[in-house]
Structure 1
Amino acid sequence: MRDFPSCFGENAVQISDSSSSNGNKTAQNLVTCIYQCRFRGKSCLITVTWSKNLMGQGLSIGIDDSSNHCLCKVDIKPWLFSKRKGSKTLEVESSNIDIYWDFSSAKFGSGPEPLEGFYLAIVCDKQMILLLGDMRKEAFKKTNVKQCHSSAVFIAKKEHVYGKKVFYSKAQFSDNGPVHDLMIECDTIGTNDPCLIVRVDTKNVMQVKRLKWKFRGNNTLVIDGLNVEVFWDVHSWLFGTSPGSAVFMFRTSLSTEKNIWASQPICDPSVLHWSTSQRIRESQSHQFGFSLILYAWKQE
């Protein structure tokens, strides 16, 4: 365990999100995924947000160019009884972007993301920009695109998880690596000395004692031969006046050099701000791999 930053305080290792600052009542069951893709020969970021509410599942797609300018955004409304397959065409910079989806046979778990039996395809100029899901043959047949691998790279994911003292998620830290089960355990009720435990595939890989003093910090794990840096911020669990979320980040680095955040003051709250997409682009240029951000909401 690294020594906890001496400058820990109200702004140390701050990971923020608009939905996490308004209490548990405003937390939504949603998952946001960011992919680095190529659009007309240029790098772009495609954000796919899966949501789930009383009306059913929904989907939002946004495409930003390399200068952080929004090229387009489309919402596919939540469905319960409506048709679960369709397409939309958007005009962007004199080009058509076609979005195709088929969730008619999709299987869902407890979260908003479909697990199998679906495809989501984004096509431009007869080229597959992004293809998600296991129904690849059906997607290529529908889009009339020659079967080839898209150059899309999955670079970041943000997820809201819920529990009383145990929180679960999954992560694949490399493109061809295994999918790991993540478990975060922390009992903050009825104990004077809370302890934070992180397990990967049931194996205890990190333990933080004296959590009231170390409510924010970072540590480095080795998973699948990769350095995985873990950041945590559980201030709202321990000292919040209203129910809020703790925040965890798991981030891989493909470089043996120190990453760009490590060279900056740990007390700077903008260092880990999710909405700063420029940080994501900088991380890619510094050979970063994949980032997973979990907002953990305690339920009573």
Structure 2
Amino acid sequence: MNHPSGGGVPFVSKLSSVEKHIDNKGAQSSVAFIYQAKIAELLRNVTATWSKNLINHSFSITVENMKDDQNHYTCKIDLKAWQFWGKKGLKNLEVDGRRVDVFWDFRQAKFSSSPDPCSDYYVALVCEEEVVLLLGDLKNDALKRTRKKPSPAEATLLYKKEHVYGKKLFYTRAVLDESQKEHDVVIESSLSGPDDPEMWITVDGTMEIRIMNLNWRFRGNETITVNDVPVQILWDVHDWLFNSSGSSHGLFVFQPGPLDSEPNKHKNYSNNNTINEKKSKDLSQSALECYHILYAWKIE
């Protein structure tokens, strides 16, 4: 189902206006995973962010402060290759008077083009004798080091937000079905030349969507199927075509699950804060309701 010229998907248009301040000269790619975990007796949003540019490579983890929306509890770790001594460590935060320990080990971590590691690492958050959030594939190593048991209230991934840079090609990894494995997603565009602007979206090497006449269909959505699971893909590439400021990005939202038939459902997603708020309240959501939000920044 498509909506030419932006009709029917107002939340994509509004969300695309978020974070316009990013400077392409810095070209800082970033990936943020927003979880919900029980910390200090409350369900809180925890954001794990990986950032990388030509100079810096870092990881930060932020725990929501329920009493102050502007000031949260944050731990930042430098991942520069020449600082091997910092690849394994421990820091602690005080969250509402409770101690939260952050353990990490990136000594053998393997990276690809994305700022976040592919394998061989862990990050563990410990609060009140329990591991409340565990990232990475070395989970046994993390439990052995922390000497704590996993929390019975397992953390839930709410959504993933990513910023990538490119000229015509943009690559990301997204969970799109019940396997919980990430699929390779490639977005390619042709905005100049003798033909009308076009865009292609492929999943695991198979072209799933081809958008012709992009000048008229710069906003819209379609539903594809990945391993028998319907996946909604929404896009807004207005700035790619009509923004001459040199700082243009396209917005893509990948949402596993059937197309929502409620006409006003999208109003809950007008910006990142309301996505955050809605997800915080929906404690019964399944893994298939996790969003992947991609900002694709076009550079010359």
TM-score by length of structure 2 reads 0.85
The structure carrying a bigger helix percent of its residues is 2
Inter-partner Cα distance in structure 2 for 1:11 and 1:124: 36
Q: 1:172 deviation in Å?
A: 1.5
- Per the alignment, in what secondary structure is the counterpart of residue 280 of structure 2? helix
* Rounded Cα–Cα distance in structure 2 between residues aligned with 1:282 and 1:148: 20
> Residue 163 of structure 1 contacts residue 297 of structure 1 at CA under 8 Å; is this kept in 2?
yes
Q: CA–CA distance in 2 between the matches of 1:212 and 1:10? A: 18
Matched, 1:16 2:20: no
CA contact (8 A) 1:128 1:150 kept: no
Unaligned runs of 5+ in 2: none
Shift of 1:33: 0.8
Question: Do residues 242 (structure 1) and 240 (structure 2) align?
Answer: no
Alpha-carbon contact 2:109-2:119 (below 8 Å) kept: yes
Amino acid aligned to 1:37? A
Q: Secondary structure at the match of 2:193?
A: coil
Q: Identify which range, 87-96 or 71-80, moves more after superposition.
A: 71-80
Q: CA 1:191–1:147 in structure 2 vs 1: closer, same or farther (change >3 Å)?
A: same
Match of 1:95?
A: 98
**Amino acid aligned to 2:88:** K
TM-score, structure 1 as length reference: 0.85
Structure 1: unaligned runs, 5 residues or longer: none
Match of 2:271 among 270, 273, 284: 273
Equivalence for 2:297: 297
Deviation at 1:120, TM superposition (A): 0.5
Cα distance change of structure 1 residues 216 and 3 upon mapping to structure 2, 3 Å threshold? closer
Amino acid at match of 2:82: F
Report deviation, 1:130: 0.7
Per the alignment, in what secondary structure is the counterpart of residue 108 of structure 2?
coil
**Which residue in the other structure is 1:31 paired with?**
31
Q: CA deviation at 1:239?
A: 0.6
- Secondary structure, in 3 states, of the residue corresponding to 1:100? strand
Q: CA deviation at 1:92?
A: 1.3
Write the deviation string for residues 47-67 of structure 1: whole angstroms up to 9, x where unpaired.
000011344421111112668
1:173–1:36 Cα change, 3 Å = farther
Look up the match of 1:203.
Answer: 206
Per the alignment, residue 233 of structure 1 pairs with 236
User: What is the count of residue pairs matched by the alignment?
Assistant: 294
Displacement of 1:152: 1.2
Query: Which amino acid letter does the alignment assign opposite residue 194 of structure 1?
Result: P
Identity of aligned residues (%): 33
**In 2, Cα distance between equivalents of 1:87 and 1:25:** 33
Q: 1:187 to 1:293 in 2, by over 3 A?
A: same
